[in-house]
C-alpha cells in the first residue's frame, strides 16, 4: 500500500504524490515537509508569517492597481507577484473585491489620522476647511490609495462601497464638523447636509483627477490643491 500525500499549489500545478511503504510515518512527514519548504516560501504559516503574507498581497495589489488598474488586475497577477498559489489567495480573501476592501481598511485609517493631524485644529472653519481640502487633493492626486478611492471604488458593488465608506468615516465626519462650525459662525451658507457633503467630495475628487491627469503631477499638485481648496471655500462662503 502506498501512503499518499497530496499538496497542491497553483504555480506550475505541482503535486507531491506518492511515497513508498518502506518509509515510516515520521520519515514520510519529514520528506514531505522538506520538499514543501524548498519549493514554497509560505508554508503552514504562523500568525506572524500570515500577517506578512497578507501585507505582501496588499502591497502587490497596490502596485498593480497603480500600474494597470483594478479592473485589469487579476488574481494571477497578485499571486505571481508574491510567489504564492491561487489556493493560498483564497485562504485569505474571498475575492479580488474583498482584498481591495481589506486593503483600504488597512491603509486608510492611518492616512486619515495623518491628514487630520497635519492641519491645526484651532484654525477658523474656512481656513481649516481649505487646508483639509488641499491635503485631500494632494492625497487623491498623488497617493496610490487616493487613486484607488477615486478610480476603483465607484466600480465596486454597493455593499463594498459601504464597507469602504466606513473606513474613512472619520475624515468625512471632520469635514462635516468643520462645515457645520462655519455655518454656526456665519462664515458658510447653510445647505442640506447631503448636498454639502457631495459638493465637498466632488470638488476634492475633481482637483485630484486634474492632478493625476497633469503632465507633471508632483510639480503641479501644490498649485492645483490650493486652487481647489479656494474654490471649495468660496462655494460655501456667505456673501456680504
pLDDT digits (tens, 9 = 90+) for 25-50: 455 445 454 444 444 444 444 554 88
- Supply the pTM of this predicted model: 0.70
Reported as a single tens digit per residue, the pLDDT across 53-90 is 999 999 999 889 878 878 889 989 999 999 998 999 99
pLDDT at 236: 97
* pLDDT-above-70 percentage for the chain: 79
How far apart CA 22 and CA 224 sit, in angstroms, is 73
pLDDT at 111: 85
Q: How is domain 96-236 classified at the CATH fold level?
A: Tetracycline Repressor; domain 2 (1.10.357)
pLDDT at 36: 43
Boundaries of every domain in the chain: 3-39, 45-93, 96-236
The CA-based dihedral angle spanning residues 175, 180, 185, 191, taken in that order and rounded to the nearest 10 degrees: 110
Closest CA relative to residue 224, chosen from 137, 145, 153? 137
Task: Provide the CA 68 distance to its chain's centre, in angstroms.
Answer: 15
- Domain 45-93 matching CATH 1.10.10.60: the answer reads yes
Write out the DSSP string of 139-205.
HHHHSHHHHHHHHTGGGS-HHHHHHHHHHTHHHHHHHHHHHHHHHHTTSB----HHHHHHHHHHHHH
How far apart CA 103 and CA 113 sit, in angstroms, is 16
Residue 10 has pLDDT above 60, yes or no: no
Reported as a single tens digit per residue, the pLDDT across 123-182 is 999 999 999 999 999 988 888 777 677 677 777 888 888 887 777 778 889 999 999 999
pLDDT at 20: 52
How far apart CA 213 and CA 141 sit, in angstroms, is 9
Closest CA relative to residue 141, chosen from 205, 67, 65? 205
Look at strands 18-19 and 3-4 and give their pairing.
antiparallel
Amino acid at each position: 500500500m502506498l501512503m499518499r500525500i497530496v499538496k497542491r499549489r497553483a504555480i506550475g500545478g505541482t503535486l507531491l504524490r506518492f511515497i513508498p511503504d518502506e518509509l515510516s510515518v515520521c520519515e514520510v512527514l519529514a520528506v514531505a515537509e522538506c520538499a514543501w519548504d524548498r519549493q514554497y516560501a509560505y508554508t503552514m504559516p504562523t500568525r506572524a508569517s500570515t500577517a506578512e503574507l497578507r501585507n505582501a498581497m496588499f502591497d502587490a495589489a497596490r502596485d498593480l492597481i497603480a500600474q494597470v488598474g483594478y479592473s485589469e488586475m487579476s488574481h494571477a497577477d497578485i499571486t505571481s507577484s508574491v510567489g504564492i498559489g491561487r489556493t493560498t489567495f483564497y485562504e485569505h480573501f474571498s475575492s479580488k473585491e474583498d482584498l481591495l476592501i481589506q486593503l483600504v481598511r488597512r491603509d486608510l485609517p492611518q492616512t486619515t489620522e495623518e491628514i487630520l493631524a497635519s492641519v491645526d485644529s484651532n484654525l477658523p472653519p474656512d481656513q481649516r476647511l481649505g487646508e483639509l481640502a488641499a491635503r485631500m487633493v494632494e492625497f487623491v492626486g498623488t497617493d496610490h490609495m487616493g487613486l484607488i478611492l477615486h478610480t476603483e471604488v465607484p466600480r465596486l458593488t454597493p455593499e463594498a462601497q459601504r464597507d469602504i465608506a466606513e473606513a474613512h468615516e472619520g475624515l468625512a465626519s471632520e469635514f462635516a464638523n468643520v462645515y457645520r462650525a462655519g455655518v454656526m459662525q456665519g462664515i458658510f451658507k447653510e445647505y442640506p447636509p447631503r448636498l454639502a457633503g457631495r459638493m465637498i467630495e466632488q470638488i476634492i475628487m475633481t482637483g485630484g483627477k486634474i492632478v493625476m491627469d497633469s503632465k507633471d503631477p508632483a510639480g503641479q499638485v501644490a498649485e492645483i490643491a490650493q486652487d481647489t481648496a479656494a474654490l471649495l471655500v468660496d462655494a460655501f462662503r456667505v456673501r456680504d
